[in-house]
Amino acid sequence: MTQFQAPNPQRRAPESQELQSHLQKMRRRLSAKPAPGTMAITPDLDTDTDPREISINIMMIFDLLRRRAWLVLPLAAAFGLLTYQWSRSRPKQYKANTIVEVVASAPKVFTDIRDVLNYRFQLRRFYATQRVILNSDEIAQRALSTRPWILRSAGFYGLDRVQDPKKRAEKIQKLRPNASQILKAKTSIAPIRKSSLFRITVKDTDPHRAKELTLALAQAYQEYNRLFRLRTTLNAYKEIKRRLEDYQNKSKKLRQHLMSFREKHNILTTSLDDRRNLAFKQLEALNQRMIKVILKRIELESQLRPFMRKKRDKNPLANSFAPVLENALVARLKENYSKLLLKRESLQSKYRAKHHRVLKIDRQLKQLRSLLINHIKMIQQSYKEQLSSVKHEERTLRYKVRAAKRKLQKLDGLNLNFDQLKQRQKALDRSLETLNKRYFELQLLKDSITTNVRIVERPRLPEKPFAPRVMRNTFIGTMLSFFALIGVFLLIELMDNSIRSIEDIELKCRVSPIGEMPLLSQKKTASGKEPLYNPDRPLTQLEEAIRAVRTNILFMSSDGNLNKLLFTSPSPREGKTFLVSNLSIGFGHAGKKTILIDMDMRRPRVHKIMDLDYDRSKGVSTVIIGRHTIDEALIKTEYPNLDILPCGPIPPSPTELIETDGFMRMLSELEERYDLVLFNTPPTLNVAD
pTM of the model: 0.49
Q: How many helices (H) and strands (E) does the chain have?
A: 21, 11
Q: Is the pLDDT assigned to residue 539 strictly greater than 50?
A: yes
List, for residues 444-502, the tens digit of each pLDDT value: 777 767 788 999 999 999 989 988 888 999 999 999 998 998 888 888 877 877 777 77
Domain boundaries, the chain: 9-52+497-680, 60-89+468-491, 94-242+451-457
Cα Rg, the chain, nearest whole Å: 68
Task: Identify the top-confidence range among 57-66, 340-349, 675-684.
Answer: 675-684
Residues with Cβ within 8 Å of 34's Cβ and at least 6 positions away in sequence, in order, are: 40, 499, 505, 569, 570, 574
What pLDDT score was predicted for residue 2?
A: 40
Least-confidence region, from 26-40, 155-169, 616-630: 26-40
> What band does 45 get if pLDDT is binned at 50, 70 and 90?
very low
What pLDDT score was predicted for residue 3?
A: 41
Q: Is the pLDDT assigned to residue 559 strictly greater than 70?
A: no
DSSP string of 152-208, one letter each residue = T-TGGGT-TT---HHHHHHHHHHHGGGHHHHHHHHEEEEEPTTSSEEEEEEEESSHH
Q: Which residue has the higher pLDDT, 184 or 65?
A: 184
> What band does 683 get if pLDDT is binned at 50, 70 and 90?
confident
| Amino acid residing at 161 | R
Estimate to the nearest angstrom the gap between the alpha carbon of 96 and the chain centroid: 40
List, for residues 107-130, the tens digit of each pLDDT value: 665 555 666 666 666 788 888 999
> What is the mean pLDDT of the segment spanning 70-96?
90
Tell me if the domain spanning 9-52+497-680 has CATH number 3.40.50.300: yes
What pLDDT score was predicted for residue 9?
A: 37
Q: Is the pLDDT assigned to residue 21 strictly greater than 60?
A: no
CB 221 within 8 A of CB 134: yes
List, for residues 3-18, the tens digit of each pLDDT value: 433 344 333 333 344 4
> What is the mean pLDDT of the segment spanning 222-241?
87
Q: Which residue has the higher pLDDT, 350 or 477?
A: 477
Instruction: Quote the CA–CA distance of 262 and 272 in Å, as a whole number.
Output: 9
Least-confidence region, from 96-105, 313-322, 563-572: 313-322
Least-confidence region, from 67-76, 286-295, 518-527: 518-527
Strands 197-204 and 94-102, bridge-based pairing? antiparallel
Q: Is the pLDDT assigned to residue 431 strictly greater than 70?
A: yes
Q: Is the pLDDT assigned to residue 425 strictly greater than 70?
A: yes
Q: Is the pLDDT assigned to residue 516 strictly greater than 70?
A: yes
Name the residue among 28, 99, 14 with its Cα closest to residue 497.
Answer: 28
What pLDDT score was predicted for residue 126?
A: 87
Name the residue among 150, 136, 151, 145 with its Cα closest to residue 225.
Answer: 136
> What is the mean pLDDT of the segment spanning 424-453?
82
Least-confidence region, from 13-17, 79-83, 228-232: 13-17
> What is the mean pLDDT of the segment spanning 547-575?
79
Three-state SS letters, 69-99: HHHHHHHHHHHHHHHHHHHHHCCCEEEEEEE
What pLDDT score was predicted for residue 139?
A: 94
What pLDDT score was predicted for residue 148?
A: 92
Buried b (16+ CB within 10 A) or exposed e, 24-55: eebeebbbbebbebbbbbeeeeeeeeebeeee
> What band does 27 get if pLDDT is binned at 50, 70 and 90?
very low
What pLDDT score was predicted for residue 41?
A: 45
How wide is the angle at C-alpha 540 spanned by C-alphas 538 and 577, nearest 5°? 120
Q: Is the pLDDT assigned to residue 322 strictly greater than 90?
A: no
Query: In 192-264, where do the E strands start and end?
Result: 197-204
Q: Is the pLDDT assigned to residue 511 strictly greater than 80?
A: no
Average pLDDT value for the chain:
80
CB 661 within 8 A of CB 14: no
What pLDDT score was predicted for residue 40?
A: 45
List, for residues 167-218, the tens digit of each pLDDT value: 989 999 999 999 999 999 999 999 999 899 999 999 999 999 999 999 999 9
Q: Is the pLDDT assigned to residue 99 strictly greater than 90?
A: yes
List, for residues 591-649, the tens digit of each pLDDT value: 888 988 888 888 888 888 888 877 778 888 888 888 888 888 888 888 888 888 888 88
Q: Is the pLDDT assigned to residue 91 strictly greater than 80?
A: yes
> What band does 318 get if pLDDT is binned at 50, 70 and 90?
low
Cα dist from 182 to 150, 306, 338, whole Å? 12, 118, 140
